[in-house]
Each structure stands twice: as C-alpha cells, then as structure tokens.
Amino acid sequence: LVCCPDTAGMPPPPPKRAKQAEPSSDMEEEEEERPSSDADEELSGSDGDGDSDSSPEMETVQADFAFFDPKPADFHGVRLLLKTYLDSKPWDLTGFVDLVLEQTTVGTVVKMAEDEDEDGEANGGDKSDDDGDLFGLITVLNLGRYGENRCIKDLKEYLLAVCGDKDTKEKLKSLLEDKASTVGLLVCRRFVNFPYEMVPKMYDSLFDEVSWATEDEPTQELQDSFRFKQYLLLVRILERKTPPKQKAKNNKDEDEPVIYPKLEDEIFRELSSWSFTFPIRAEQSAQQELKNYKEMGLVMCVKADVIPKFRKKLEALVSE
C-alpha cells in the first residue's frame, strides 16, 4: 500500500484518492488560520512540531489528511508551495508547476480528506481557486527527460550560479548535463503545521511509486526515466550567524550550529555524496527565537542506493 514502508512484492496501489493517510488527527494549529505563503518548511525553524504552548489561542482540531495524485485543480496550491523554491530568482515557475501536475504516476499532494471529498461531489470537483486545501507536495522529476523545458534550464542555471566551490561545481555540472538522464530532482514542500509523523509516509509513497513506474509505465523509455542513480535536492536550512557566547539553558536550539526545518534533510545530508550551501537573498522573516540564525540554501547529491537506509533512519527518527 502507498502509505506502508514495507511494500516489497506487493502490487501497485489503487488510486491515492481512496487512501487516507494516517495518523493525521489531533494536529495543533491556530484556529481558523493558515500559514502565510512564505511560511513553508524553510522558515519554521522546526518541522511543524514547535512549541505550541507559546500561544494562548492554540487549540486542538481534528484534521484527517489523505494522499492524492496531482491534478490541474491543484495548480494554485502547488504554486504557493513552490513560489520560494529558487529564492527570489525570476524563473518559469508556472512551467515547473505544470510539470509537477502532469506527472501523476509519481508524485503526491496532501490535502484534508474532507476537502477532497467535497471537491469530488461538487459538479466535477473544480476548486482550483482554493489554495487552502493543499498542505504538502512530494515528487521527483528526471532532469534529462525534462531538460529542454525552460523551467529546468532556469533551475540548472540558478544552481550553477550559486555554487561557489570550483570542484563541487564540476560535480554539479556533470550531474546536470552528462548524467542528467539518471538524476531525479527530488522536491518535497509542506507548510509548517504539517504533522511530522506523516513525513515518512510521503517518502514511502514516492519511492514505492518510482519503483513501480520502472515496470508499469507504458513504454521502455518512460520506465527507464525512473531508473534513477542519483537524486538532487535543493532545500533550506538555518545556520547560526555567530557562535553562542554562553550555554543557553532554555532553548535547546540555541547552541545548534545548524537547524533543519525539515527533519529529513539532516539525514539526506549525512548520506549525501556531496553538498554545498549558499546564502538566501530574499527578505527573511525568521521567528524571534531564531533571530541569531540566517537562512541558507542547501544542495545535496544523494545516491539512489542509499535510499533504503534513508527510509529506515527517517522512520526511526520520527518514532523517537
């Protein structure tokens, strides 16, 4: 099944529409409030499980989430999640969103289950103007297959421009050009109030679909396009601006040189073949308790053969 980590030898899943992702209840969020469009995973300073006791207006609400194939009606929600993906660089974001939505065999969007149910019942289910029902997105795009698309060209240009180390840039260039047909651009975006215990299920769903696509796609060419040897990731982290003057007693993050807003990115970095960081130029709006940190971009190359180890480490981390 899509949401189960151990799927060896099992048949492909039925449509994700019928799959309810669990656990997804008792999620804490502010009453009647959605995160701002800039408040995605990079700016949280945590992975959605921050100190909710700091706000007297917080209350527990029941929220059932489910996994679905991307569809055209998700355009605005996906665009909202991706709008800061390349920092403030002007690029073909619309074209990138279109690629994500067109690839339905591999890729998942996460919504509130009742929203999608209502969507399907209401005259064809067109809620394309409602951005509020999409909480997360995960997909992987073959850099060779889509290499001629303007958005992928923009992405490659951006990555090469922000890479300052000569040796690393050579490795990156090889990945983007010579090896592009076996490289998957792995994209996972979600809002800060996304329940972190669902994160392993997102990755299980993605990597299971990649495996199934190598057998179930209608042509050999399409099947081969999902036989990734390496994954490329572009994420955000928080680096401390200056070393702490003294040991902080109240905030465990205060002494951390690096904070990973998405908990899985620390695992990816640990398992990566190589990586590099670069400064984010867009105006930053970090929380007050993170004022001593600056937002940085992090690019990582992860070999496909370490993904089983990643999945185990992620499951163990979330289970702690």
Structural domains of the chain, with CATH: 65-113+130-244+251-319 (3.40.630.30)
What backbone phi and psi angles, to 5 degrees, belong to 21? Answer: -85, 125
Structure tokens belonging to residue 101: 């939505």
User: CB neighbours (10 Å) of residue 76?
Assistant: 15
**pLDDT value for 285:** 62
Name which of 141, 36, 45 is nearest 81 in CA terms. Answer: 36
**pLDDT value for 51:** 44
**pLDDT value for 304:** 98
**pLDDT value for 295:** 92
Burial of 141: CB neighbours in 10 Å, binned 0-12, 13-18, 19+: buried
User: Average pLDDT in the 110-132 region?
Assistant: 55
**pLDDT value for 92:** 98
Residue 44 vs residues 37, 106, 194, 245, 272: alpha-carbon distances, Å: 12, 27, 11, 24, 23
Contacts of 256 (CB under 8 A, 6+ apart): 240
Rounded to whole angstroms, how far apart are CA atoms 104 and 67?
12
For residue 18, is pLDDT > 60? Answer: no
**pLDDT value for 242:** 79
Structure tokens belonging to residue 241: 């601006």
The total number of residues written for the chain in this structure: 320
Rounded to whole angstroms, how far apart are CA atoms 47 and 94?
27
User: Average pLDDT in the 263-285 region?
Assistant: 91
Rounded to whole angstroms, how far apart are CA atoms 121 and 117?
6
User: Average pLDDT in the 74-100 region?
Assistant: 96
For residue 161, is pLDDT > 60? Answer: yes
**pLDDT value for 189:** 97
For residue 71, is pLDDT > 80? Answer: yes
User: Average pLDDT in the 90-96 region?
Assistant: 97
pTM (two decimals): 0.79
Contacts of 316 (CB under 8 A, 6+ apart): none
The bridge status of strand 293-303 relative to strand 65-68 is unpaired
